[in-house]
Each structure stands twice: as structure tokens, then as C-alpha cells.
Amino acid sequence: MRLSKLIALVWLGLCSWQVSANKGVDLIQSQAHWIDRSGQAVIEQATQSPFESFEHLLAKGYSKHPIWIKVSYKKADKKNNEDLVLRILPTYLDEVTLYQRVGQEWISSTTGDRYPFAERDNQNTALSFNLHPQAEDVLYLRLQTTSTSLMSLEVVTQKNFSELEGRRDTLLGIYFGALIILMVISTTLGWLSKQTHLRLFALFEFFELLYASSFTGYMPRFILPSHPLLMDLLFGVFVISHIFTGILFHRSLLKNLLNHRIINLTFNFVTVLYLCLYALYLFYDRQTALSLTLLLMLPCTLIFAYVALFIFVKKPKIPNKYAIASIYAALVGSILFALAPPLGLIDGVEISLYASLLNGFVFSILMFILLLSDLRYQEKQLLELEKTALVSNQEIAFQRAENERQSKFMAMLSHELKTPLAVIKLAVDSGLKNNRYETHANKAITDLNQIIDRSVQMSRLDQGTYPIQKTELNVSELLQSLLGDQAHRFELNMPSNLKIQSDPFLVQIILVNLIENALKYSKEESSITVEFKETGEQMIMTISNLPNIAGMPASEFVFDKFYRSSNASHISGSGLGLYLVKALAEMLKGSIIYEPKSGWVKFILCLPK
């Protein structure tokens, strides 16, 4: 972006340098024009006709009549004795005939883009005539062209002519270099991004390059020097294509940005008209086609003005909206400035010769900067979308995992509830008094209560609704009360009066789950070992048992919610006990680890004192 701005500033500076370089070297004292309505006038008739003076440029639009120009110039200093040159711009004029009077005789010579480059007086890009040293200081020119009758004249010395052409070559070299850079970059971006408006911008830059090289005379000089008629035909094609591809680009860009019905319809209509101009130019009337090419820019200019106003007033949600509106507002003025002199609407100045090139160049730079900014905005949006998609995928994966856990839990809950309920129903149906099903019924009811309690505890834990209320707790007494009628299976190694500062309710849940887990998954009537140790800041409890048919739990899943060994399906349980133990221990700033050793299932609980 900085490079584009630098190129634009350098080129505009060189334009000023070129204009300022022309001052003081032009020997023309006056110039006037006369339009030959009959088209048949010869030099003798022209000299007797009423000429109308003009300054700076001849700007008579697209005229079908020959135009005669009378030029009065100052003879060079005799001491200098340097040849003079009549320099003519632009270079696309079809036919310019010079008449110089030497004595009583008129000497004529002709140049233009319909004549081979090798036949020109000077092998420079600009059209030129070497003035006869003995000629009078008044000369006449006859201009006949299908292009616009926009013409600049200068009478300069041969030395100044070479200097002016050198400056012009330098200026245009930078211009063409910048165009080529923009075309290559935009082509690459269009190919990589696959965006239509970027590809059309690259196509516009390509035709801008062809148009500029033919407009400035470089194509007839270096590419087709021996085929002037073909070059003359191609120039008109390049003029139409240059503007047409610009219209296509704006049509695609604005459709992508605004998709406004009026704008779209107008551009569609203008697009069809420009396609018709190709046929008109190639098969009917070149001058009419070229004049209509410029005239059709006027409705496009109105659309550009409407776009700028629409964005400023409506403030649509598009990136860089104020930059876009400003560019289109500036484009309106630059197009009108470029169109008015060629159409003969106003008299031009020297810079008007390059108005179309200036307009295209500045527009290209600004649009290129805007398109780069738009690409960066799209890249940023894409990154944000990718981040959003990643978060959404993570949320989906999490929700899917939660659904799977809930499904497993519901399946487990259904299975676990059916068995005790069936036992209860059987007991109720058979009668409980003095019945052998009485013990089973009580056990089933206990299992149901445990499942319900753990489910409620898990829900409260997930919701973070467990309040912690620490108080002094005698762990020895609590453990003895929890063992109940299963105390005979436990081998205890603990102090008689082990106390800690903790939440009694949460510690009870932890111990209950560890005890019940050991009882459920140990061999029938095998011993369960419980050991307590104290450190300066912690109480450490180790509970160990020999596994039954359920086997050793998997170390990586043992504390997961709803985890149960694949061999434990016949044992009543929810898969929540050890999950609750770990979560509650961490809430109390403690920890629980599973450490299997020599065929023993071993859990180590650490709680702060």
C-alpha cells in the first residue's frame, strides 16, 4: 500500500515537472483555428478564411470536418542558428498536414498515426515536423482525424525537443512500470482469491496498459511501426475495451458490496450498449463509436455520484464504506475533467492531454489500495469465522459428550432401578412378614437410596451449589460410625482421636463412597485395609482391597463420571462414587489418587488438617 502511494506521488510530481519544463521554451506567439465545413478547402482558400484564436489546446471534440490551424511563431536567434521543430501531441491523431511558405511556394508534409513511423521527420514518440529554416514565421496545419480533435502545438529548438521527449519518456516509463506492477499483483490476487471483481480489475489494468501504450505512441513506435492502419484500428478497440472493462469491474464490485437494484440495472444497460459499440466501431462508423464511448461515461458518472451519496446517507454495513464513498466522489470529478476537453465541452490546458491517463492511474492506485484493504478485512473475517467455528465445534463436541454421558447414565439408572424394584415388587407380592425376601427387599431399598443420593450429589456438584462449612471433625469416630455391621471386614490402623478442620458432611460423603466402593468390588469376606497417617499439614488415608470378579479398574477412567468396569454389570452401582470422591476432595483442597499395587486396589486420600 505504501509503495502504491509512493508511486502515485512520484508520478504526479513528474507530471508537474514535465509541465513546468515546457514553459519558456515554446516559441509560438499566437494560434487560431478554422473549421472547413465543405471539407474541400486548399491552402490558398484556408489562408483567406476567418480564423478564431485559441489558447493552450485545440479542443473541438469529434468533428467530421477538417480543422485548419494557423500558427505564428518567433524565429530563433540567428546567432543560435538552431533548427526548429513543431511538436504535436497527442500521437493518435490520424492525419496532420503542415504547410510552410518559402518565398512564393507552399511546401507541405504529412504525418499521423496512419503513416509509417519510419517516414516521420524525427524518430521520437511525439508527432513532429522539422521547420524549414527559410520559411515564413506563419505556418498552417490541416487536421483530419476520427479521434477527438484535441491537439497541443509547440515550436521548439531541436535541443529542447530532445529534452522534452526525454522527460516525457521518463515520466511514461514510471507510469508503465507502475501499471505493470499493479497488473501482475492484481492478476495474482485474482487468481488466488478467485474473486470476480479482482480478476476484472486485473483485466482492466491489462487494457489500461494497451490503451496507454497506443495513446502515447509507444505501441506504433516499438511494436507495430510498419502497420499504421492496423495500429489505428486497434487504438479505437483499446479505447472502448479500456472503458468497458472498467465498467465491468465497477459493476461486479458494487454488486458484491451493495447489490442495489438501480445500480445493477444501470450497469447492465450500459454493459449491453458498450457491447454494441464494438460492432458500431468495426463495421459502421469509427468516429461515432468513439464519441459514444465517452458520452456513455456520463450515466456511469451519475451512478458513481449516487453510490457516494448512498453510502454517506444510508451508511450500509460494508467494510471501508467511507473510503469507497470518497473514492467514487473523487472519481466523478476526475472523469468529468477527463471527458470535457475531448468532447469539446471546455477548452483544455496541457495537462488535459494526459487527463485520461491521470484518471486511470490515480483510480488504479486508489482501487488497488482499497482492494488490498478489502482482502485484509476478508482475511480477518475468515479468521474470526474459523475461531467461531472452532468454538462451535468444541461446544458441539462437549454437548455430544454430555449427551453420551447422560445416555449412559439413564441406561445405567434404568438398569439399576429395575433390579431392586423387581425385588421389592416380588417381596410385596409375596408378603414380607417372616419371609425370606425381607432381607433382599431392605437391600434393594438401600441401593435405591444410594443411587438417588449420588445422583442428587452429582447434580449439586455440577451446578456448584455445595456450600463448604468447616468445623472441627473427629475422623476416627466418623469412620467407626460409617462401618456399621461391616466393621468386621476392615483392618484399621488409625489414631484413636484423629481430628481435622473440614466440612463434616462432605467428608462423610467421601468416606461413605470409598467404603462402599471397597465393599462392592472386593472378594467376598476378604479383609479391607484402612490406614491413616498424619503429616504437619495433611491427613492421609489409604484404603486397599483385593478385587472381585469385576477386576482392577482402569487407571485412566477410574474417576470419570459414570465409569464402571466392563465386568461389573452384575454389581449394583451408578459409576458416580469415585467421581464424587475426587470432586469433593478437590473442593476441600485435598486429593485422591488410585495406586494399584501387587494385585490390590489401593486409593490414597489426602485432606488438609
Q: How far is CA 296 from CA 252, 293, 568, in A?
A: 18, 6, 86
- How many whole angstroms separate alpha carbon 285 and alpha carbon 291? 10
Band the pLDDT of 572: cuts 50, 70, 90: low
Residue carrying the nine cell digits 445422583: 455
How high is the mean pLDDT of the chain?
A: 83
Any bridge partners for residue 180, and if so which? none
Q: Dig out the grid coordinates for 244 from the structure.
A: 468497458
Residue 67 falls in which region: left (phi positive, over 0), alpha (psi -120 to 50) or beta: beta
CA angle centred on 545, ends 542 and 550, rounded to 5°: 130
Of 35-44, 105-114, 254-263, 351-360, which range is least confident? Answer: 351-360
Tens-digit pLDDT profile for residues 165-200: 999 888 888 888 888 888 888 888 888 878 888 889
- How many whole angstroms separate alpha carbon 215 and alpha carbon 354? 9
Instruction: Say if residue 494's pLDDT is above 60.
Output: yes
Going through 120-232 in order, the beta strands assigned E by DSSP cover 127-130, 138-144, 150-157
538-545: strand order across its sheet = 490-493, 528-534, 538-545, 601-608, 591-594
For 466, the enclosing helix (H) or strand (E) is none
Class of domain 26-163: mainly beta
| Averaged pLDDT, 399-405 | 69
Any bridge partners for residue 130, and if so which? 85
pLDDT in the model for residue 597 = 84
- How many whole angstroms separate alpha carbon 315 and alpha carbon 384? 23
- How many whole angstroms separate alpha carbon 101 and alpha carbon 109? 12
Instruction: Say if residue 3's pLDDT is above 50.
Output: no
- How many whole angstroms separate alpha carbon 239 and alpha carbon 225? 19
Band the pLDDT of 388: cuts 50, 70, 90: confident
pLDDT in the model for residue 8 = 46
Tens-digit pLDDT profile for residues 106-155: 999 999 999 988 888 888 889 999 999 899 999 999 999 999 999 999 99
Q: What are phi and psi of 214, to 5 degrees?
A: -80, -35
| Averaged pLDDT, 389-416 | 68
- How many whole angstroms separate alpha carbon 120 and alpha carbon 221? 11
Band the pLDDT of 547: cuts 50, 70, 90: confident
Question: Percentage of the chain surpassing pLDDT 90?
Answer: 37
Domain ranges of the chain: 26-163, 165-389, 467-608
Instruction: Say if residue 2's pLDDT is above 90.
Output: no
Q: Dig out the grid coordinates for 443 from the structure.
A: 437391600
**DSSP state, 600?**
B
pLDDT in the model for residue 523 = 84
- How many whole angstroms separate alpha carbon 270 and alpha carbon 248? 10
467-608 has which CATH code? 3.30.565.10
Residue carrying the nine cell digits 466392563: 566
Chain-centre distance for alpha carbon 378:
3
Contact 495, 534 (CB under 8 A): yes
Instruction: Say if residue 430's pLDDT is above 70.
Output: no
pLDDT in the model for residue 429 = 59
Band the pLDDT of 408: cuts 50, 70, 90: low
300-325 CB burial, b ≥16 within 10 A, e <16: bbebbbbbbebbeeeeeeeebbeebb
Contact 14, 171 (CB under 8 A): yes
Contacts by residues 477-486 (CB-CB < 8 Å, ≥ 24 positions apart): 478/504, 478/507, 478/508, 478/511, 479/511, 479/530, 482/508, 482/511, 482/512, 482/515, 483/515, 486/515, 486/519
- How many whole angstroms separate alpha carbon 98 and alpha carbon 141? 5
344 or 251, which is more confident?
251
189, amino acid identity: L
